Structure 1
Amino acid sequence: MASVDETGRRTQNRAMQAARNDVLDAPRIDAAPKPAPVARILCTDLAGLRAQALGLAEAAGFTPDCRVITPKTPWSFLSPMLWPDPRRAIDPAALAPPEGDLLIGAGGAAARLLGTLRRRDLPAVIVQHPRMDPTRFDAIVAAKHDGITGPNVIVTRTALHRVTAARLAEERTLWQPVFAQLPRPLVAVLVGGSNGRYRLDAAAARAFADGLATMMDRDRVGLMLTPSRRTDAGARATLAEALAPRGAWIWDMTGENPYFGMLALADAIVVTADSVSMVSEAAATAVPVLLARLPGRSVRIGAFMDDMVACGRARNFAGRLDLWPAESLNDTPMAAAELRRRLGF
């Protein structure tokens, strides 16, 4: 027969074991998810630069905090590389707190500023060739045609952008009723403009309009066209005069921008070859891309366009619809994943 002390010990042991079982069987309470790092995005007010920096931040899972770099007089008349202190050369609103967990910039002004703001606890990432000492940045994300390599450089085949499968699916649903009446195959036309290296002047606009009109007449395509902020009024008028009577849908630059909806719904895309960003966004879809070459010359941009043709992702536009099996070319997710790995986020 067990003693009173032994009976007590057994009772205590059973109670302790029951308590342990209760702990093991209790629902697991996970720790609160860690908030996404905040990326302060700094660039001048250019849509192409902003789209690249924002696209990188979104793909990396960062929370973007976009700030516009606005140079003050007299610094606005000088190259950013000549600013003695870039923090004093710009509107201070861009530097107002909170500063975030990292800096992402795009373009020359951003490079000059980030090189000054970078700290050990505030890494700096620049998009495009910074045209300054690359060791002043924790990471550089640049396209192959930018011609820069190094231990802190992530090289992509195309420019960074915000085109994703999810965004295209959402925009397809939103814009399908707007373009439903247009014939198929449906061609999206993305129009840039003169930029100091290429010209979309009166003669170039007329030649482009004639090529698009020929495609509509001979290939019986539906056509939806969006100009950009760089497309001057004369070029827009020339395109509208040639294409609207043939049933083309042309954005009048009022209301919501149809750009992503057009990418989502197109069976083919014609894009002027003055913009690496627009061609990169078109190449991220899974439809043929046709390059409308413009008068002018840029070694860097021309090399990119030639590479797109050489790899089979694009062909030159010659006034006719050209269809072939196409696959998405999109290096933004790769660059974003590699950036997180390198920075330890």
Structure 2
Amino acid sequence: MLPSACNSRRIAQSMASRRAGTAGRHPRRRGDPGPYRRAGPETRRLDGSPRRRHGPGRERAPPPPAAGHRRLDPRDRAPLAPPWPDLAIATGRRAVPYLRALKRRSGGRCFTVFLKDPRIGAGIADLLWVPAHDRLRGENVVATLTPPHGITPDRLAAARARPDPRLAALAPPRAAVLVGGDSRHGAFAAAEQDRLLAGLDRLAGEARLMITASRRTPGRLRAALAGLAARHGGFFWDGSGDNPYLGMLALADAVVVTSDSANMVGEAVAAGAPVLLFEVPGTYIRLRPFFAALRRHGAVHAFPGRLEALPHKPLDCTPAIAQAVATAYRRHRDAIARPDRR
């Protein structure tokens, strides 16, 4: 089945479910409150129906040295068997040899897509997506300002229509607070934790806070956030019950987000509320052009510690990415069906 305008969104949702680790792993399960959970790799037909599982779960992926990009280590191989998927989407350098194996073993029929820069060139897949702040470019490279994700207008509308009771109990205005934490690029220093907490304490005087943290959030900050929510009659997700992430974005009159995760910021700017960016010193230097572009677009503003009537322009590049995949896939299938037109 060929992609069409009506199923580009299905491709987008598939892309959102494969953003981190090997193909099929939950997108950046950073302990952030992402709304999707996946048990392992899976392929789907382009009509959205399950086909069969392929490839390894993350625990079976090979290590990422250069040799691993070229071929599968026999010790780490997992079953790759027909029927081959029409479309395979992967991310993370550990997935590169598996994506190449799918392409080779399917006789070139499987259309392969890789998300983010593999750091070994654009030849590893039929189509690559990279964020615009990355340098990789090429005829088969799609670059957009924000990353693909599953925060769609329809899902937000559904979450508003049937709100999470824990969030609906909070009187508006409400502010969603998305807090990351330490990364290999820098630690969330105590002084910055205190600065964030002071700003949120001021904001809590104007809005009910709906707070979620990451597995990377320092324990001291996590405890302080929970105490802040309790003290001001807000909500802090402690990991119990259903994941409230989508509902938080849907009900938010403003979104406060820390600067350590491009994915988290990309989802926030699609939600339709003003996004207040708390910039942490030591944030990955390559994200600075990303934030500057978002500011020029009017999608993010500095976090002032209060609600303001700020202009905001929702920004979501996922449909454009999905359409690029659909268009390239259609060309690929057409070339297979008519070899003389290659």
Q: Tell whether the structures are fold-level matches, with TM greater than 0.5.
A: yes
Q: Show CA shifts across 1:112-143 (max 9, x none).
A: 43234323111210011121131231000111
- Alignment map for 1:1-345 (pairs within 5 Å): 42-43=22-23, 45=25, 47-48=27-28, 62-63=48-49, 69-70=57-58, 75-76=62-63, 79-83=64-68, 85-86=71-72, 88=74, 90=76, 92=78, 95=80, 98-119=83-104, 120-217=108-205, 220-344=206-330
| Partner amino acid, structure 2, of 1:101 | D
The count of residues paired between Structure 1 and Structure 2 equals 301
Identity %: 34
Cα gap change, 1:176 to 1:102, in 2 (>3 Å): closer
SS of match in other structure, 2:113: strand
- Alignment partners' CA distance in 2, 1:62 and 1:341: 17
**Distance verdict in 2 for CA 1:229–1:172, change over 3 Å:** farther
Task: Using the TM superposition, name which of 258-267 and 198-207 deviates more.
Answer: 198-207
Is the 2:176–2:210 contact (alpha carbons within 8 Å) kept by the matching residues of 1? yes
After superposition, the Cα gap between the structure-2 partners of 1:96 and 1:247, relative to the gap in structure 1 and judged at 3 Å, is farther
**Superposed CA offset, 1:36-95 (max 9, x none):** 89979543856328989x9xx99x86557686543559x54xx343426335354626x4
The alignment's TM-score, normalised by the length of structure 2, stands at: 0.77
The AA in structure 2 aligned to 1:177 is P
**Secondary structure at the residue paired with 2:90?**
strand
> Counterparts of 2:310 and 2:75 in 1: how far apart (Å)?
50
Distance 1:88 1:71, change over 3 A: farther
Residues in 2 aligned to 1:302 and 1:48: alpha-carbon distance in whole angstroms: 20
Change (3 A) 1:307 1:90: farther
Q: Is the 8 A contact 2:212 2:236 kept in 1?
A: yes
Q: 1:276 to 1:260 in 2, by over 3 A?
A: same
Report the Cα distance in structure 1 between the residues aligned to 2:81 and 2:165, rounded to whole angstroms: 43
Moved more, 175-184 or 124-133: 175-184
CA-atom RMSD in angstroms: 3.1
Say if 2:96 and 2:124, in contact at 8 Å, map to a contact too: no
Letter paired with 1:159: P
Q: Tell whether the 8 Å contact from 1:287 to 1:325 is kept in structure 2 after alignment.
A: no
Where 2:137 maps in the other structure, the secondary structure is coil
Partner of 1:13: none
Q: Which has the larger radius of gyration?
A: 1
Shift of 1:177: 3.3
**Higher share in helix:** 1
Say if 1:203 and 1:128 are closer, same or farther in 2 by CA, change over 3 A. Answer: same
Instruction: Give the counterpart letter for 1:310 in structure 2.
Output: R
Instruction: Report the 3-state secondary structure (helix = DSSP H, G, I; strand = E; otherwise coil) of the residue aligned with 1:243.
Output: helix
Q: Distance in 2 between matches of 1:124 and 1:330?
A: 23
1:3: which partner in 2? none
| 2:272 aligned counterpart, secondary structure | coil
* Partner Cα distance (1:72, 1:342) in 2: 30
What SS class does the counterpart of residue 28 from structure 2 fall into?
helix
Write the letter of the residue equivalent to 1:172: R
Paired residue type of 2:114: I
Counterpart CA distance in 2 for 1:88 and 1:338 is: 35
